[in-house]
Copies of this chain bind each other. A is one copy, B any other.
């Protein structure tokens, strides 16, 4: 038990474990996973929606249904909690990527589907993970700016989506008068649209997934040359 906990802690990026005391994290990680997730998801949602400065620890505690003191008990400071989340989410995405990304898939839309599945299975772990990471990328508060940069640099996860979906894909199946880059832009914008509406509305990931599939199919049917259908 202690073994598995310390193994998890090993993943922590240097700039995080400087701030987050191991003893606190051990307490948190020995909580039932369900309760851990309640707290993490509440924090991701709050930070993702309102940014670092405008999110108070009371907000997070209320959203998680626990007392403010307990949040401090598990994470020590607001900053440590925030950086822990950045680190955690980055690692989740990277693991998901290592696990599922397959660069032998060259079909444009198959690759898009691959990317979408990676994102969706990450969101099944933590629904607000993408909108949180998106907000992290634009975070500008001096208290956390440098640390964020350190963590993200460590994980080299810049512009994942476009790399994954585009590099090494076969665009020869498109009709001649269609610019694949334009289609890519549309798809990126579509997922941004989802990401944006997501936190506000009650979200059904599976329904969303089906809807996205419909769009992909519509595009494929009409943008590919007929012989490739």
Q: Which of A174-207 contact B (CB under 8 A)?
A: 175, 177-178, 182-183, 185-186, 188-197, 200
Contact (Cβ within 8 A) B182 A214: yes
Grouping DSSP codes into helix (H, G, I), strand (E, B) and loop, the A interface class, with mixed when no group exceeds half, is helix
Taking a contact as CB atoms closer than 8 A, the residue among B51, B186, B192 that contacts A215 in the complex is B186
Contact (Cβ within 8 A) A186 B196: no
Interface with B: A23-31, A70-78, A108-116, A218-226, which one?
A218-226
How many angstroms between the C-alpha atoms of A200 and B182 in the bound complex? 22
- A50 at the binding interface (Cβ < 8 Å): yes
Min distance, Cβ A204 to any Cβ of chain B, angstroms: 15
How many angstroms between the C-alpha atoms of A204 and B161 in the bound complex? 24
Contacts of A138 in B (CB 8 A): 200
How many angstroms between the C-alpha atoms of A96 and B138 in the bound complex? 33
Contact (Cβ within 8 A) B190 A222: no
Taking a contact as CB atoms closer than 8 A, the residue among B54, B196, B221 that contacts A177 in the complex is B221
Q: Mark A157-181, 1 if CB is under 8 A from B, else 0.
A: 0000000000000000001011000
Residues of A within 8 A of B (CB): 50-51, 54, 138, 175, 177-178, 182-183, 185-186, 188-197, 200, 211, 214-215, 218, 221-223
Given A186-B218, A192-B197, 6 new contacts (CB under 8 A): A50-B51, A186-B215, A189-B194, A191-B193, A192-B193, A195-B196
8 tightest CB-CB pairs across the interface, nearest first?
A196-B196, A193-B193, A189-B193, A192-B193, A222-B222, A54-B54, A189-B190, A138-B200
